[in-house]
Every structure is written in structure tokens, then in C-alpha cells.
A = this chain, B = another copy of it.
């Protein structure tokens, strides 16, 4: 579905409403420096891309990739027109899961076409933010690219923070004796982190290239803005790496604590067993059938035996409590 189709010149949007792609393509062909068309698609139908491909002369390989989805983040240069793949991430609080989406950008002289799949990183806000900055908007299509990449990377932050919160919860669970070992949760968090890393990490190299000005048509002033995005992306990547390492350590600590815990259980059990077995021994003794067992005939023999048994149990109980087995 074509969501919007705007014409920007001199840092200002020319028509409030979306224009027709055919008209837009004409404008794009004749666009002056800094003038451009921005077409936004959301989960396009098969025909949409084909139509735009014809109008704007998009490269077949790029269009094929955009149709297939599940691409890795990248920037591909097709003779001064670019195909960019970004992966969006959205943290679903309740499921404790990261949902991934994709944004594909076709950018060339005079036009930017964005295709969004799945959840995360709505582009309307990116567009609004850029429209509020006529100075940047006037720099042409690469400003739109920046606005989108900036939005996508900014939206990674709540994801990392959400994972960070979960890690802290998991730490509490691991080191709290009364809660069962959260092995499954640790593992699923680690899976999330690994997948998120795979979504965000490949973006670093193209961003580095953008910062260094390796791509044609990026105004110098904008390179600083790409450097800013690159810096944020790197910060997120470093945090994700730390989280990965932390989760590995938590898994190990968890394992050690499971063993420590088992040790405690074994000690407790053994103490109880001893407390039952010792009086049983006494009872067995007085259950023997020897003809001559003086205690049996004592007046308070039975009472004494019971007392002895209770005392023994008590002494053992205190002893085991003292050596912390109980």
C-alpha cells in the first residue's frame, strides 16, 4: 500500500496530500539539487513495487530483495542509486520478546522510496521530524535516508533497555534462594540478544562508510549526522555484547547455584534421616528378646527409653542446626 507520496523542494513539502507516483516520477527526473520525492509504502502488494520499479528504474536485484524480505542490513550501491535494508526491532514487554521488522529504502537522484514490513519504527514520525528541519530537508534524498536510519537506531534503545531490565530481574531470581532456577528464561533472553545482535550489528559497517563519506551524494554537513547515528548504533552494539557476556555468566552462576542448592537439600535430608534413624536404633535395642535385659523390668524403663530417644533426636537436631545442615 502506498502510504504517502510527497514532493520536497527547498526544504519544504510542496503539496499537503499525496501525489500520484507517475507525476512523482516526472518530478524526480527533473529534480534540482535538494529537490526530491519521498514515497512511503507499508507492506506493499506485488503490483506496487513493480509499478514503482518501472517508474523510477529500480534495479531488478534490489526489487527482488525487497520482495523476498528477510534480508540482512546493508547498503548497496547501484551506480549512484542505493538500496538500503534496515531491520527494525520492537520489544514486546509482556512476551519478553523482540519482534523484528524490515525497512527497505531505494534512494537515488530526486527520489526516496521506503518500504516497511512488519512491526516497529513507524516512519511517519521520522518524516515529521525531518519536515521540522527545513535546513536538513533541503539537503535532498540523503537527508531522508538519515531521518529513517536515525529513527530505526533510536528505536533500538528501548529494546536494549527492555532486555537490560529483564537481565536484572533474572539476576534477582538467580540469587534468590526461594525462587527456582530460571534456566529457561536466561536461555530465552540470550536467544533474544543473539538475534538482536544479528539484526543490528551488520549495520555498523555501512554506517561507518556513510560517516567516512564513502557513498556519493551525501553532503558533508549530513555526514556528521550519520556519524551521530553510527555512534548510537555502536553504543547499542557494545551494550548488546556486554549483555551477551553477562547472560553467559548468569547461566554459569545459575549452574553453580543449582549445585549449591542441591548440596543444601542433601544436607537437610541427611540430617532428618539421622534424626529418625538414631531413635529407631534405640527402639530396636529394646526390642531384642534377651532373657536378661534389666532395663526392661525397670519401673521407668519405658519412659527412660522414650526420653533417651527424644533427647538423642533433640541433640542431633541442635547439632545439625549448628553445622548448618538444617
Contacts and interface: CB of A to CB of B under 8 A. Distances in A.
Of the listed residues A269, A272, A290, the one surrounded by the most CB atoms of chain B closer than 10 A to its CB is A290
Interface string A257-289: 111111101110110111011111101111111
Contacts of A301: 290-292
A190 interface: yes
Contacts of A309: 285
Nearest to A241: B198
Contact of A262 (B71, B184, B263): B263
Contact of A256 (B183, B245, B267, B295): B183
A214 to B, nearest CB: 13
A258 B251 contact: no
Interface residues of A, number: 87
A249 interface: yes
Contacts of A261: 263
Interface stretch (A3-11, A31-39, A220-228): A220-228
A67 interface: no
B202 A238 contact: yes
Interface stretch (A42-50, A72-80, A90-98, A113-121): A72-80
Contact of A235 (B71, B195, B283): B71
A30 to B, nearest CB: 27
Interface string A179-205: 011011011001100110110001000
Nearest to A74: B231
Contact of A61 (B225, B234, B259, B260): B225
Contacts of A257: 183-184
Contact of A302 (B175, B251, B269, B290): B290
Contact of A306 (B251, B258, B259, B285): B285
Contact of A249 (B181, B238, B251): B251
Contact of A195 (B194, B242, B280): B242
Interface string A210-254: 000000000000001101100100110011001001101111111
A299 interface: yes
A302 B292 contact: yes
B228 A61 contact: yes
A292 B299 contact: yes
A314 interface: no
Contacts of A318: none
A205 to B, nearest CB: 11
Interface string A120-154: 00000000000000000000000000000000000
Given A279-B281, A287-B288, A292-B299, 20 more contacts: A61-B228, A72-B238, A76-B224, A190-B246, A202-B234, A248-B249, A249-B251, A262-B262, A265-B266, A266-B269, A269-B270, A270-B273, A276-B278, A281-B283, A283-B288, A288-B289, A288-B302, A288-B305, A291-B296, A292-B301
